[in-house]
Amino acid sequence: MERSASAVMKTALITGITGQDGSYLAEFLVSKGYRVFGMVRRTSSENLWRVHHLHDRIELVFGDLLDQNSLISALKQTEPDEVYNLAAQTFVPTSWNQPVLTGEFTGLGVTKMLEAVRFINPKIRFFQASSSEMFGSTGDFPQNEKTPFHPRSPYGAAKAYGHHMTVNYRESYGLFACSGILFNHESPRRGLEFVTRKISYGVGLIKHGIRRTLTLGNVDARRDWGYAPEYVEAMWMMLQQDSADDYVIATGETHSVREFVERALTRAGLSWEDHVEFDPRLVRPAEVDKLVGDASKAKQVLGWKPTTRFAELVDLMVDADMDQVQSEIESGEISRTRLTTVR
Ligand code: NAP
Ligand code: F7E
């Protein structure tokens, strides 16, 4: 691929650019003057809605985490200074249905990308999107970079493997490889199956008279929820340091799913009694009861801190989904297929 005329312009390759974080990171890096490449896998129907608005500012290359040569080829084509490995099978319940595939995407995929970096250009700076799910059922609160892992799902176990491999490639080969231990982060671009978006979109459907109920599993689980655009800035900050390291990225606050639902319903002027139902099929084989992160290292070293707090996050997601449902009604886009995905 032809290199830009500008000698100072940095180049980044983002895997998972079609996902929530990939789209925000692409926007952020474009705003910083980067040449941004996104790696996408071949799909039978188009899947670029989160990055449509960037179509003339990003470039796409084909590749799949399962295919080692495609990663090598993506690095050869794009010659990046920085690689952000955001691609993964990210939905925890799916990881029990497809544990092997999750291990291959979310775990081994990291090693495949690290090997590609080592082989093509070991000077490339590498970011791995690790997860608070690695802490699982640890009894230590709040969780920091030294808290032991006890993952409670195939997803959490695969992420722990990817994290350790990132650390190992730094220690064994001197790669500039960083692991961001990211606590839950949300936005109006979150997939509809994750609980926050399921709630905000569900509330939008109820408010517009399309649905009557929101059906949920364990509403007592507690999470540390932040705002996704702020988390992608932390990823970039990690790769701008003099040395590579690992950082917890979190708000330091924990709230239950119940609190999220209550705030969302209140925002829309709806009540729990009329609209929320429990479905035992949504309860997981093993739950992570409580997560809360301590991001003081990121604050001290990177100068990163979260600004969007819980109530503001819920409100912005509900407001966005009220508008989203309204525009889907107007365009006729609300289809039976779309509704069945939000069980
Ligand atoms: P997401 O919206 O589910 O996006 C996942 C991305 O991975 C999509 O672009 C998807 O492509 C891509 N992908 C999946 N399998 C792939 C494969 N085999 N080859 C190439 N691409 C593949 O996830 P997200 O919320 O943006 O999360 C980004 C990263 O941060 C993930 O690694 C996630 O595990 C991690 N993380 C997220 C959170 C959070 O709260 N959001 C917290 C901790 C860690 P398609 O569009 O083709 O499916
Ligand atoms: O569940 C409970 C559920 O699916 C949050 C991913 O980005 O963050 C995410 O994983 C909690 C769980 O996210 C429903 O049992 C109740 O306790 O939104 P979630 P997650 O599992 O925390 C981590 C950090 C990642 O790395 C992952 O990639 O909500 N819950 N009722 C429900 N969850 C869902 N999805 N649907 C329900 O109906």
pLDDT of 90 > 50? The answer is: yes
Q: What is the mean pLDDT of residues 278-298?
A: 98
Domain ranges of the chain: 11-186+226-249, 195-223+253-286+309-339
182 forms beta bridges with: 131, 249
Which are the contacts of 274, defined by CB distance < 8 A and separation ≥ 6? none
Domain 195-223+253-286+309-339 indexed as CATH 3.30.2010.10:
no
* pLDDT averaged over every residue in the chain: 95
Which CATH code is given to the segment(s) 11-186+226-249?
A: 3.40.50.720
The catalytic position among 131, 132, 153, 200 is 131
Q: State percent of the chain over pLDDT 90.
A: 93
Closest ligand 2 atom to 197 CA:
18
pLDDT of 334 > 90? The answer is: no
What is the per-residue pLDDT across 201-216, written as a single tens digit (0 to 9) for each? Answer: 999 999 999 999 999 9
Decide if 259 is catalytic: no
Alpha carbon of 129 to ligand 2 centroid (Å): 17
What is the per-residue pLDDT across 257-266, written as a single tens digit (0 to 9) for each? Answer: 999 999 999 9
Residue 314 is inside which H or E element, if any?
A: helix 310-331
Confidence band for 340, pLDDT divided at 50, 70 and 90:
low
Give the residues surrounding ligand 1 with Cβ less than 6 Å away: 15-16, 18-22, 41, 43, 47, 64-66, 86-90, 105, 129, 131, 182, 184-185, 191
Give the residues surrounding ligand 2 with Cβ less than 6 Å away: 90, 92, 131-133, 183-184, 193-196, 198, 216-219, 221, 223, 257, 282, 284, 287
Taking the whole predicted model, whether its pTM rises above 0.85 is answered as yes
pLDDT of 190 > 80? The answer is: yes
Q: What is the pLDDT of residue 338?
A: 56
Q: What is the pLDDT of residue 183?
A: 98
Confidence band for 332, pLDDT divided at 50, 70 and 90:
confident
Beta strand 222-223 with 255-256: parallel, antiparallel or unpaired?
antiparallel
Which are the contacts of 311, defined by CB distance < 8 A and separation ≥ 6? 263
Q: What is the mean pLDDT of residues 117-132?
A: 98
Q: What is the mean pLDDT of residues 33-57?
A: 96
pLDDT of 339 > 70? The answer is: no
Decide if 327 is catalytic: no
Closest ligand 1 atom to 155 CA:
34
pLDDT of 152 > 70? The answer is: yes
Q: What is the mean pLDDT of residues 26-33?
A: 98
Q: Which of 82-91, 93-102, 310-319, 333-342 has the lowest mean pLDDT?
A: 333-342
Question: Cα separations (Å) of 64 from 15, 85, 178, 246, 279?
Answer: 9, 12, 21, 25, 35
- Whether the upstream peptide bond of residue 142 has omega within 30° of 0, thus cis, is yes
What is the per-residue pLDDT across 46-85, written as a single tens digit (0 to 9) for each? Answer: 999 999 999 999 999 999 999 999 999 999 999 999 999 9
Q: What is the mean pLDDT of residues 8-25?
A: 97
Decide if 227 is catalytic: no
Closest ligand 2 atom to 284 CA:
15
